[in-house]
Structure 1
Amino acid sequence: MILILVSGCRDAEPEGQAVPAAAGVTAEVETRVVQVETVSAETVMRDDYLIASGTIAAKQTSNIGALAEGVVEQIFVRVGDRVRKGDPLFRTRQVDYQRSLVEAEAMRDVALAEVRRAQTLVDRYTPLETKGVVSPVVFDDAKTALEVAGANLRLGETKVETAKQALGDTTVRAPFDGAITARYIDEGVFMANRFSGMGNSAVVQVQECGIAAAILFAPESELARLRLDLKGHLYVDGRSDPIESQILILNDRVDPTSRMVEFRMAFANPDCAVKAGQSVRAEVEVDPRSATVLPRRAIQGTGEDRYVYLVTNAQAKRRPVKITDIDADRVEILDGLTIGETVVLTASEPLYDGVRIELTPS
């Protein structure tokens, strides 16, 4: 048997008539709206610091040479020794200066004898001249001889003092309290007391290190923020505690090559604990400045990629910003935001650029 199945035909739907949607399918997707809490950037006065670097220097450093030229017989100090003002540092050979002193004293004694003889003649001639026994010419000659002898005596006394000074100068003493930081020669070297043009003419170097100073350099663009007496802290390599100081010297010259300005901050340095030549960093408290501040919670992103979401026409708009930390709760906006712009502080859901937002009801 052959069965033939014939299906019935339905009339076509009239053109333009809507077909009902299948069960469970939404005809229109609703747009997401995120609830947000906002905040506006504010301006505050913030303490500001100028950062500079440089080198530690002693209050003064002197290369000490011979006062009386000659062979250095003995050096009394070594590098690292501490000396007080007036302590002997080294001595040149004294024998020639001792001989010169003896000669000067002998010449002075001769001059003194001449004075005594001339005075005796004047004393003898004085009553005789009034009686006419001695002519006025002879008497005048006697007085002149006394004056010449007196002048020779003064010259002899001067030479004695000069010889004593030269003998004393054979022992060179520390000009101030300090430390021996260099020794250039050993005993037996002839030292002149004048610059010879043949190299170093010093025997030792003394630094007054009980007071030290940081010699610091800042760009010339910072000149407007620098002035005398500004306080700050010095951070020296190898020392954990900062040193309080203030600007005592501000150089009026800007280096034309480096375009840097020099300033100095001094400090007491007991026992020469901070050494000349160490590197130092300074944080100088300059005048406060205005800063644009936001709560840290409004900042998103990490590292250099930081951004905020601005509220614009009921939408969140992503804006990159540059920040620096103030404290645990606040950051300063360095670039990317102006005062008066409204920023998303918190959101009920993750945000993206262009998402619709509305304020959380109070």
Structure 2
Amino acid sequence: MSNEVEIKSPARVRGLRLIGSVVVLIAVGIVASGIVSRAHARQALTTWTNAQAVPTVVTFTPRHIDATQPLILPGTLAAQVNAPIYARVSGYLHAWYADIGTHVKAGQLLGVIDTPDLDQQLQQAQADLQNSIANEKLAATTARRWTEMLSQNSVSQQESDEKTSDLIAKQATVQANQANVRRLLALESFKRLTAPFDGVVTARKTDVGALIDAGSGTGPELFAVSDVRKLRVYVSVPQIDAAVIKPGLTATLTVPERPGMKFTAQMVDTDSAIAPASGTLLVQLTVDNSAGLLFTGEYTRVHFALPDDSQALTIPASALIFRRDGLQVAVVGKDNRAQLRTVTVATDLGSQVEIASGLQPDDRVIDSPPDSLAQGDPVRIATGQAGGNAAAAAIAQTASEPAHG
């Protein structure tokens, strides 16, 4: 009986309730603390995720390259003057005195042709001339006598005029025969084949006893003489570079058989026309060959130093973006957000490109932009800009990377 009264006492009941309330409060505190901690962690994760979503990019400033741009093209060497020697008279080659590779002077004898037919024609012409001279003298004497008899009224005026006219005809015949003799003498001089200028014999296509037909450049030449003290260089320059090719431009030549040697050539002129088949401009240069180290007809590499467009800016090709909107470049704005610029390429130099329009010298261009980068996206510039320095160094070396045609 006493135990039941003790359990049911009000003080005992209040104690149990207080303990229960404390336990509940502790449990609620633990749950609230967990919820708050999870909320803070979720917020931190969201902030970190958003920060990681901002791409880190490497930027560089576009720059102008050197004032000249190298261009290497194949060229062909030709003699300054090349003269094929043809026969002007028919006959047989009596002898030749200069073989291929012989250095000759102007007027030096190359060969002699036997012309028996021509010799006989000359003798006949000379005989006809002597006959006409004799007839002219007789006609002159007759005309003089008839003129004297006319003054004495011994002959008529008609007869005197006939004798005078006959003298004039005989004089004309003499002049015609003299011209024929001079023509044949001129042909006789062609029996001797001589060098037209100082040079080298580059061909001999005849031999002693060979039958020779007189020609005018249609048949095979007997000899060929070339002046190789200076050589012409012919180069086909692409149309894109034709505008900067002007007289006075210099170039450097190299040939495979003389490694390490360079020859300076001076531009003479161009043919002022673009070949439709190749889209190139034919350029002619001259190079000094007084040392005889170069040969006509050989292949050479022509190194041009072309004036560069001072308005063009050079960037690495890795900065270009190829999308359906056209060729673009991403730059970082003042608010560290990406801006997509449409650009025009002036010259493709391989690892570098020259931009003709769309960029400013102070733009911060993004190198290798992410594929997902869009207009207005925030970006973070990499600390230290190691990649940007590498891109700038690559641009600085552009001048040393030759362009090949």
Q: TM-score normalized by structure 2? A: 0.63
Specify which of 184, 209, 227 is matched with residue 228 of structure 2: 209
SS in 1 for 2:310: strand
Distance, in Å, in 1 between the alignment partners of 2:147 and 2:175 is 24
Specify which of 234, 245, 249 is matched with residue 252 of structure 2: 234
Structure 2 residue 240 is matched with structure 1 residue 225: no
Question: Equivalent residue for 1:265?
Answer: 285
Question: Equivalent residue for 1:144?
Answer: 165
Question: Equivalent residue for 2:41?
Answer: none
Q: CA deviation at 1:343?
A: 7.5
Q: For 1:121-169, what per-residue CA distance to the aligned partner results, in whole angstroms no more than 9, with x for missing partners?
A: 2222322221122333432232222112211211121121112111111
Q: CA deviation at 1:332?
A: 6.6
Structure-2 change in CA distance of 1:324 and 1:138 (3 Å): closer
Q: CA deviation at 1:311?
A: 7.5
Specify which of 194, 197, 203 is matched with residue 176 of structure 1: 197
Distance, in Å, in 2 between the alignment partners of 1:332 and 1:258 is 26
Question: Equivalent residue for 1:16?
Answer: 31
Q: Is the 8 A contact 1:63 1:204 kept in 2?
A: yes
Structure-2 change in CA distance of 1:39 and 1:168 (3 Å): closer
Structure-2 change in CA distance of 1:359 and 1:95 (3 Å): closer
Structure-2 change in CA distance of 1:311 and 1:158 (3 Å): closer
Q: CA deviation at 1:230?
A: 4.1
Q: CA deviation at 1:220?
A: 2.1
Q: For 1:57-113, what per-residue CA distance to the aligned partner results, in whole angstroms no more than 9, with x for missing partners?
A: 112323221011111222221111122222222221133333322222221111111
In the alignment of these two chains, the number of paired residues is 312
The structure where helix makes up a greater share of residues is 2
Specify which of 93, 105, 111 is matched with residue 126 of structure 2: 105
Structure 2 residue 85 is matched with structure 1 residue 64: yes
Structure 1 residues without counterparts, runs of 5 or longer: 1-10, 20-27, 32-36, 316-321, 326-330, 345-353
Structure-2 change in CA distance of 1:272 and 1:108 (3 Å): farther
Q: CA deviation at 1:286?
A: 2.9
SS in 2 for 1:285: strand
Question: Equivalent residue for 2:75?
Answer: 54
Distance, in Å, in 1 between the alignment partners of 2:31 and 2:166 is 153
Distance, in Å, in 2 between the alignment partners of 1:43 and 1:259 is 28
Question: Equivalent residue for 1:350?
Answer: none
Distance, in Å, in 1 between the alignment partners of 2:249 and 2:169 is 67
Q: Is the 8 A contact 1:314 1:357 kept in 2?
A: no
Structure-2 change in CA distance of 1:105 and 1:242 (3 Å): same
Q: Is the 8 A contact 1:48 1:289 kept in 2?
A: no
Distance, in Å, in 1 between the alignment partners of 2:287 and 2:157 is 75
Amino acid of the structure 2 residue aligned with 1:235: L
Structure-2 change in CA distance of 1:314 and 1:286 (3 Å): closer
Structure 2 residue 127 is matched with structure 1 residue 116: no
Q: CA deviation at 1:218?
A: 1.6
Structure-2 change in CA distance of 1:58 and 1:357 (3 Å): closer
Structure 2 residue 149 is matched with structure 1 residue 128: yes
Distance, in Å, in 2 between the alignment partners of 1:282 and 1:45 is 16
Q: CA RMSD in A?
A: 4.3
Question: Equivalent residue for 1:166?
Answer: 187
Structure 2 residue 208 is matched with structure 1 residue 190: no
Q: CA deviation at 1:45?
A: 6.0
SS in 2 for 1:270: coil
Structure-2 change in CA distance of 1:274 and 1:132 (3 Å): same
Distance, in Å, in 2 between the alignment partners of 1:196 and 1:41 is 60
Distance, in Å, in 2 between the alignment partners of 1:338 and 1:205 is 59
Q: Is the 8 A contact 1:48 1:288 kept in 2?
A: no
